[in-house]
């Protein structure tokens, strides 16, 4: 089966969130399953700064967007020496500090940037004479690709191609002023309530939803949630119309990178059979944070996250002082909303002996936090899938999560009453009080060493590798193809 995987970011070449992790992992597993898979991604400044040996492919090309002609060229490299990745180069559009914007906001020409990218993906197939059975599109930046196929762009190249579209986070919809629809080059009839029109704006995400054969999202629970007004972002009606073609497939994780038995960044490597060296990881993390070694017996909580409203940092801020009263320590790594950054700097300053805040992106430190903490705090307002709670399970670091989206799908709540072995601790109400009660419950179990060992080992035994998820995608691709394209 021939598959083109279109994504606006791909680890290790570019990343702002979980989409990049998926795009850097799923194609590898599809390749090992025998698929002829190619990946297409813009060539950003951050990618060029990696100093990769990129080989030019095909010929230079131009794409007209409105009255402007943009020049492009394709370059290629291998993802982990197996899967071809094709980079769309247009320095005028992509050679910038950020992928989608800066701290000041989104780039004002993001419509042009990703119209160009979507058109370039079709041009790439033409230049390679690659006729994919499936184009797997991801998030709003790729949403126009299914629309272009539906409109007949490609002069017959995609007559037998089915589009599959994955929503990684419905909060990001690619909304632009209605006048920018003219830049797409699509026929006028595509701009109506059955197409790209969304309350007087153009929605690239909606284009992907309505013009793809199948729509997926990144957990079963999130697939149900986005069909409701509370979590659908205004698109719940569109998704309800397509509910028979909407599927939740949980993201996998890369255990080659996130595994305490082989992790090169941590002080002691350990397995579920022998977790004794996790103590060395905790001591090492406390030292790195400048916290007293005497705190080794205290429960150590950690978070690694973008500091945004979605991730529940208002709950953490509202509960953290009471949580400190329970005798815990807290380590936070991440950047994001300047207001949250300022707020947590102040909290850390007031609680120097109990908290450390690293306002940064640091992969090395992220691994140390996963290995060194006892519990991982992730009280999201909504969470399509989430990856850090899955990493935490593998590291024997019990997640404390809100029962929402992928967090609900991946964590089994520990309840002493029914005698079951849970893998973490869940709460439902979006309040600081509910979060505090979950932390309090987790600490009570932590104080009972045999029960805590059960929680750790149950989490470490979980398998969320990509194999199962990739198999589900393959079955979906096959179903899309048997239905005869779009």
pLDDT band at 486 (very low <50, low <70, confident <90, very high): very low
Cross-strand partners of 355: 330
Residue 43 maps to a domain: yes
pLDDT band at 190 (very low <50, low <70, confident <90, very high): very high
Q: Given this model, what pLDDT does residue 362 score?
A: 93
- 289 shares a domain with 247: no
- 316 shares a domain with 229: no
- 213 shares a domain with 129: yes
Per residue in 62-89, pLDDT (tens digit) is 999 999 999 999 999 999 999 999 999 9
The total number of structural domains in the chain stands at 2
- Cα–Cα dist 110/5, whole Å: 21
Residue 24 maps to a domain: yes
Stretch 454-481: mean pLDDT: 95
User: Cβ atoms within 10 A of the Cβ of 373, count?
Assistant: 27
Q: What ranges in 2-109 are assigned the alpha helix state H?
A: 18-32, 45-48, 91-94
- 333 shares a domain with 417: yes
Question: Which residue range forms the structural domain that includes residue 399?
Answer: 278-463
Stretch 17-46: mean pLDDT: 96
Residue 63 CA neighbour count, 13 Å, CB half: 25
CA 347 to chain centre: 28
SS3 267: coil
* 8 A C-beta contact, residue 275 and residue 396: yes
Residue 115 maps to a domain: yes
User: DSSP letters along 177-227, please?
Assistant: EGGGGGGG---GGGSSTTTTEETTEEEHHHHHHHHSSEEEES-HHHHHHTT
CATH number of the CATH domain containing 16: 3.40.50.2000
- 184 shares a domain with 313: no
Cα separation values, 263 from 258, 281, 365, 418, Å:
7, 11, 12, 35
Percent of residues, the chain, with pLDDT higher than 70: 98
* 8 A C-beta contact, residue 406 and residue 218: yes
pLDDT band at 154 (very low <50, low <70, confident <90, very high): confident
- 215 shares a domain with 325: no
Stretch 101-111: mean pLDDT: 93
Higher-confidence residue of 201 and 156: namely: 201
Q: Given this model, what pLDDT does residue 484 score?
A: 45
Cα separation values, 92 from 45, 69, 295, Å:
11, 11, 52
**Torsion from C-alpha of 345, 347, 352, 356, nearest 10 degrees:** -60
- Cα–Cα dist 106/94, whole Å: 13
Question: Which residues, including other chains, have CB under 8 Å from residue 352's CB and lie 6 or more apart?
Answer: none
Task: Tell me whether the omega of the peptide bond preceding residue 201 falls within 30 degrees of 0, making it cis.
Answer: no
Residue with tokens 């929402």: 404
Stretch 332-349: mean pLDDT: 96
Q: Where are the beta strands (DSSP E) in 90-147?
A: 101-102, 105-106, 134-138
Per residue in 283-332, pLDDT (tens digit) is 999 999 999 988 999 999 999 999 999 999 999 999 999 999 999 999 99
Q: Given this model, what pLDDT does residue 417 score?
A: 55
- 369 shares a domain with 230: no
- 155 shares a domain with 96: yes
> 170 pLDDT exceeds 70?
yes
Check the CA dihedral 353-359-364-368 and report its sign.
positive
- 246 shares a domain with 179: yes
User: Cβ atoms within 10 A of the Cβ of 91, count?
Assistant: 14
- Cα–Cα dist 440/131, whole Å: 56
Q: Given this model, what pLDDT does residue 418 score?
A: 57
- Cα–Cα dist 314/312, whole Å: 5
> 474 pLDDT exceeds 50?
yes
Stretch 104-112: mean pLDDT: 95
Residue 263 maps to a domain: no
Helix (H) or strand (E) holding 234: none
Stretch 106-119: mean pLDDT: 98
Residue 260 maps to a domain: no
- 407 shares a domain with 445: yes
- 234 shares a domain with 319: no
Residue 259 maps to a domain: no
Q: Given this model, what pLDDT does residue 294 score?
A: 86
Residue 419 maps to a domain: yes
With CA atoms as reference, report the closest residue to 301 among 289, 340, 309, 310.
Answer: 289
- 205 shares a domain with 285: no
Residue 28 maps to a domain: yes
Q: CA-based diameter of the chain, in Å?
A: 70
pLDDT band at 155 (very low <50, low <70, confident <90, very high): confident
Residue with tokens 């769309």: 88
> 45 pLDDT exceeds 70?
yes
* Structure-block tokens of residue 76: 């290629």
């Amino acid at each position: 089966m021939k598959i083109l995987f279109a994504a606006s970011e791909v680890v290790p070449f570019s990343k702002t969130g979980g989409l990049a992790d998926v795009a850097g992992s799923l194609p590898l597993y599809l390749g090992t399953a025998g698929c002829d898979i190619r990946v297409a991604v813009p060539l950003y400044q951050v990618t060029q700064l990696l100093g990769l040996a990129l080989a030019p492919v095909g010929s230079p090309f131009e794409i007209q967007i409105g009255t402007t002609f943009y020049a492009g060229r394709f370059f290629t490299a291998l993802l982990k020496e197996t899967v071809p990745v094709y980079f769309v180069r247009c320095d005028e559009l992509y050679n910038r500090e950020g992928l989608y914007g800066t701290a000041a906001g989104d780039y004002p020409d993001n419509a042009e940037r990703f119209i160009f990218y979507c058109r370039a993906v079709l041009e790439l197939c033409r230049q390679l004479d690659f006729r994919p059975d499936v184009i797997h599109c991801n998030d709003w930046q790729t949403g126009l690709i299914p629309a272009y196929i539906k409109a007949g762009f490609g002069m017959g190249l995609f007559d037998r191609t089915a589009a599959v579209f994955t929503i990684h986070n419905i909060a990001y919809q690619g909304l632009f002023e209605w006048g920018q629809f003219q830049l797409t080059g699509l026929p006028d009839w595509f701009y109506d309530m059955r197409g790209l029109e969304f309350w007087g704006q153009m929605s690239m995400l909606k284009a992907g939803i309505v013009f793809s054969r199948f729509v997926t999202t990144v957990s079963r629970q999130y697939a149900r949630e986005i069909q409701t007004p509370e979590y659908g972002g205004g698109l719940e009606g569109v998704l309800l119309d397509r509910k028979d073609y909407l599927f939740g497939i949980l993201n996998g994780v890369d255990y080659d990178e996130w595994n305490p038995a082989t992790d090169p960044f941590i002080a002691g490597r350990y397995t579920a059979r022998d977790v004794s060296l996790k103590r060395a990881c905790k001591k090492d993390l406390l030292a790195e944070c400048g916290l007293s070694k005497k705190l080794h017996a205290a429960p150590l909580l950690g978070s690694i996250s973008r500091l945004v409203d979605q991730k529940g940092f208002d709950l953490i801020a509202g509960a953290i002082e009471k949580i400190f009263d329970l005798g815990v320590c807290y380590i936070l790594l991440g950047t994001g909303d300047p207001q949250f950054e300022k707020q947590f700097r102040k909290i850390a300053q007031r609680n120097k002996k109990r908290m450390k805040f690293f306002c940064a992106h640091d992969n090395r430190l992220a691994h140390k936090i996963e290995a060194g903490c006892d519990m991982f705090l992730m009280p999201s307002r909504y969470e399509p899938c989430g990856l850090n709670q899955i990493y935490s399970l593998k590291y024997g670091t019990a997640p404390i999560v809100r029962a929402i989206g992928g967090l609900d799908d991946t964590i089994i709540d520990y309840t002493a009453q029914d005698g079951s072995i849970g893998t973490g601790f869940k709460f439902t109400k979006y309040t600081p009080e509910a979060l505090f009660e979950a932390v309090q419950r987790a600490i009570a179990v932590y104080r009972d060493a045999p029960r805590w060992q059960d929680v750790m080992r149950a989490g470490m035994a979980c398998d969320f590798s990509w194999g199962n998820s990739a198999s589900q995608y393959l079955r979906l691709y096959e179903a899309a193809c048997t239905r005869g394209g779009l």
